[in-house]
Structure 1
Amino acid sequence: MTPKKTLLFILSVLFTLLLLSIIFPKDGITLFNGKKWQFITFEEILSPPKQTKKDIDSLLSHTTIDEEPDDTLAFVQEQKKEKRDSVLIDSQYVYYKPMPVKIDSVVRYLEFPTSAKTDLDPFFALLKNIKNDRKKIRIMHYGDSQIETDRITDYFRYKLQKQFGGTGCGLVPAVKAFNFKSPMIHTTKGQWKRYTVYGRRHPAVTHNRYGVTGNFSRFSPILPPTDTLDSFAVNKDLTPYELNHYASLTIAQSPYSFQPTKRYSKCKLFYGNCPKKVKVKLYADESLKDSVELQPTNNYKTHTWTFARTPGNLKFEFEAPESPDIYGFSLEGNSGINIDNIAMRGAAGLFFSRMNGRMLAQMYKELNVKMFILQFGGNTVPGMRDNYAFYQKGFSRQIKRLKKLVPDAVIIVIGLADMSMKEKDIYVSYPNIPKIRDALKQAAFANQCVYWDMYEAMGGKNSMPSWVFHDPPLGEKDFTHFTPKGARYIAKMFYNAFMYEYNRYLRKNP
């Protein structure tokens, strides 16, 4: 090709592209799968669009987070200080006078269904007297992948345990969905498999007894009912000796957890659907602590071990012809606050109605659950719709279910965060986020529950890019999740809003 023809070819291509930039629709062409086919406009050639930036520094300046939370000496000194602040009533009893909690400025207040703002009062009454009653109360934090790795929960737990007492991370599964290192580190050996109520249901699971964490684990396959097996398979004359399955799991302290989270004096095992005897050996710091035999049962059962001092790691060795369903373990103290992190990647929070209500009620009662935090909505964003009445109705049904199972528990719904999609060269908020936020809020208010708007707390529309591009980064590069440090800022904002209402309760109820 001659230089002249090459030049003409280049010019014709440029002219075609320029013409397309002028005549192509500015909003693009929507394809059959909901995606858009877009082309740069002539105006964007002359003046390229710039990434929107939110001033989140002004928000963060009102919220301070502890930079060195894992300081054992500081934690012990704080506990001693709390004891000095108590009032000695007589030689046998120490009375703790409830005092307002010092907090930062409130970035975003809790929202209540009515102007009376009394929906959290039953829980605040328990919190006010928790040190005097020497009881243990539990908060269960359910959420989607936004709270994985103990994000948000860990800092809220740390602040409440530091203020009101309590140790341990609470409930942990036998087998984690992903190999995260918080709040504890898990290692397993054997043929462990995890089954969940959310996501795709495993075809071998024929019941709905998943426990309060919405999952259970087994170290042997689920066998079909006996009447479905052929006569050869169940002929005991041909197989006089049962073959045992062997498995183990280790739960160790995480260097990424706060100091109160690492400390515990009790370990509870939750199990059920146990057709055969199960031998369990427990090792604490590589020393054999106990050897027990779990008896067959169709119901939900617990087994508890106590410790004079917190082990660095616990190892459980299991031996049985068939595994029970293991719902998890709880690492906790003798009194104070327990907060469980129950992360369910991909869930929209519509699963409570799919689980066995009798079993849930029994477990919630035994665990003494007094508050639920429900943090969902993010997984509803990608499949964009014009109307989310279906989600409001479905989420409302789940709240009603919890209220029926635990009538004396309060519920706080935390809305979804800002999430970004890429339009050409810039990141913008999904347009349906406010609609999903409103659906969650309306479901909460319709059932006399409290709502906290995380979307507005972090800056509202188009705020996630500012969290992602912050130095240091506070948002992950998927423009959906927070980094651990970003999650602590969000947790502290929520804590400030929560304790503001607690302080207001104390002023009304001295």
Structure 2
Amino acid sequence: MNSNRRVFHFVLYSVGILLAVSIAGVLLGFKWLPFNRVNLVSDVYSAKDTAQAKLADAGDSITAPVVIEKLPSKEFMLYQQPRLITNFNADTNTASLQGFLGKLKALKNGEKRKVRIAYFGDSMIEGDLLTQTFRQLMQQSFGGSGVGFVPITSPVSKFRQTVSTSTAGSWDDENFKDAKTSRLYPSGHIFRGNGATVQMTDQTVKDSAVILEKTLLCGAVNATVNIVANGVSLAVNTDKPVNRISLSNDAGRTIKLGVNNPELPVYGISFESESGVIVDNFSFRGITGVEFSKIDSSFLSAVSENNPYDLIIFQYGVNLLFRPNDKNFSWYAKVMLPVVKKIRNCFPETDFLLVSTADRAFRYGGEYKSAIGIDSLIKVQAALAYETNSSFYNQFAAMGGTNSIVEWAKAKPSLANQDYVHPNHRGAEILANYLFDAFIREFSKMK
């Protein structure tokens, strides 16, 4: 009996050790033919690799749906120029984004109005990186105060420096990853609270005399809703898909909101001055932009009507570069073209700027280099802008082009993290200055 037990334990421990070594070998990329023959999980991962290879092959077989039609007045290759906002007009002395720039000019001439910018992106702008500097520069040049839109909570709420956020109670978060509704706010979230509170403090305004309106953005409930703002109970009507409810309009920087109705869709709170530039950061990590296909067009149109934007900036791409040897991104053009067209149709009065992916590196032959498919991806992104009459900005070229992320990571002090994907706060500040300078160059072309 003891002999059988010893044999059982020996087999159990041996299989356990071999399984652990097999998993570690796959995760560490260890390959040796004799070991591969006894690797317990090699079949699982080889099947996964085969499926991914088939997906890549399928992508290679797709003909890009974006056709570059050559026109005498257009020059597609302008997309390669660094630190240039282009609408592909062959006459580069004519400004791009003229509708938006005209509104900035009105601000410069003393007109009292809000000029809203929605900046969409992935983890490259998470925590208000890049956008916090871009917002500051725009407001310094054209007026305006306030951090703009802030979601109720986010994975980086403690990391973000431009606003402090604390919550109490239970906030239910429905988002791009697990949405059951097609009426997600452009942030990719809907929050609901039952006895939950959130307190936010705008950290961007240094002048204590500046008046900030603190506004709740929320959805519809077929009844009067009671909320609490800074200890004051308010009965509000929420009869539109997108409602803007003023919570306070004073020199205070802090707002505390309480919600007792679990049916009320809560989107976030906005901090805005009466006039000037407002820049909203809409970051959502790990996405590529195609997720906006999930949002109902009529709801996006309601956002455009009740919380309009003068410029939408759309920056994605780094999450498409998740495999080092991918070169063909024509499949992305196929799925992304309808998304860009939908957003443009839902925001018909809004200028649109598509920003390319930044640099990203993988290890090739023992050293880190730019992803071999990055030029192909940027060309596809530029073609999307060209086809939809949007403007384009090459973030990769602005960084310095090939292997710039490697150089940024090695710089002293560093400008990028050692993941060779994300610029750090110093790098993000540089990118924001480059983008702002590109806007100013276009603004100087306005007659």
Q: What's the TM-score, normalizing by structure 1? A: 0.68
Q: Does 1:370 align with 2:310?
A: yes
Give the SS at the match of 1:443. helix
Question: What letter matches 1:462 in structure 2?
Answer: N
Give the corresponding residue for 1:350.
Answer: 290
Distance 1:317 1:482, change over 3 A: same
2:83·2:438 contact (CA, 8 Å) conserved in 1?
A: yes
Give the SS at the match of 2:362. strand
Give the corresponding residue for 2:129.
Answer: 151
Distance between the aligned counterparts of 2:438 and 2:208, measured in 1?
Answer: 22
Give the corresponding residue for 1:210.
Answer: 184
Distance between the aligned counterparts of 2:209 and 2:183, measured in 1?
Answer: 29
Q: Does 1:113 align with 2:88?
A: yes
Q: CA deviation digits over 1:67-110, x for unaligned, max 9?
A: xxxxxxxxxxxxxxxxxxxxxxxxxxxxxxxxxxxxxxx96222
Give the corresponding residue for 2:10.
Answer: none
Please state how far the C-alpha of 1:178 moved relative to its aligned partner: 2.9
Q: Does 1:395 align with 2:302?
A: no
Give the SS at the match of 1:129. helix
Which residues of 2 match residues 50-69 of structure 1 at below 5 A?
A: none
Please state how far the C-alpha of 1:479 moved relative to its aligned partner: 0.9
Distance between the aligned counterparts of 1:263 and 1:427, measured in 2?
Answer: 48
Which residues of 2 match residues 168-187 of structure 1 at below 5 A?
A: 168-179=146-157, 180-187=159-166
Give the corresponding residue for 1:268.
Answer: 215
Give the corresponding residue for 2:412.
Answer: 471
2:127·2:156 contact (CA, 8 Å) conserved in 1?
A: no
Pick one of 405, 409, 420 that aligns with 2:346: 405
Q: CA deviation digits over 1:311-360, x for unaligned, max 9?
A: 3x22112223x341101111101011111110011111113332122222
Please state how far the C-alpha of 1:502 moved relative to its aligned partner: 0.7
2:149·2:271 contact (CA, 8 Å) conserved in 1?
A: yes
Question: What letter matches 2:321 in structure 1?
Answer: V
Moved more, 164-173 or 301-310: 301-310
Give the corresponding residue for 2:13.
Answer: none
Give the corresponding residue for 1:307.
Answer: 249
Distance between the aligned counterparts of 2:119 and 2:195, measured in 1?
Answer: 33
Please state how far the C-alpha of 1:259 moved relative to its aligned partner: 4.2
Which residues of 2 match residues 93-104 of structure 1 at below 5 A?
A: none
Q: CA deviation digits over 1:383-441, x for unaligned, max 9?
A: 45342112123222222112211222111111111111123542111111111111101
1:418·1:463 contact (CA, 8 Å) conserved in 2?
A: yes
Distance 1:263 1:454, change over 3 A: farther
Unaligned 5+ runs, structure 1: 1-19, 21-29, 36-105, 220-244
Determine which structure has the larger helix proportion and give its number: 2
Question: What letter matches 2:107 in structure 1?
Answer: I
Give the corresponding residue for 2:196.
Answer: 247
Give the corresponding residue for 2:167.
Answer: 188
1:176·1:186 contact (CA, 8 Å) conserved in 2?
A: no
Pick one of 93, 102, 120 that aligns with 1:142: 120
Q: Which of the pair has more CA radius of gyration?
A: 1
State, as a whole percentage, how many aligned pairs show the same letter. Answer: 23
Give the SS at the match of 2:260. strand
Pick one of 292, 297, 320 that aligns with 1:380: 320
Distance between the aligned counterparts of 2:419 and 2:210, measured in 1?
Answer: 34
Distance 1:211 1:356, change over 3 A: same
Pick one of 260, 270, 293 that aligns with 2:235: 293
Distance between the aligned counterparts of 1:436 and 1:382, measured in 2?
Answer: 12
Question: What letter matches 1:164 in structure 2?
Answer: F
Give the SS at the match of 2:124. helix
Which residues of 2 match residues 331-342 of structure 1 at below 5 A?
A: 331-342=271-282
1:429·1:461 contact (CA, 8 Å) conserved in 2?
A: yes
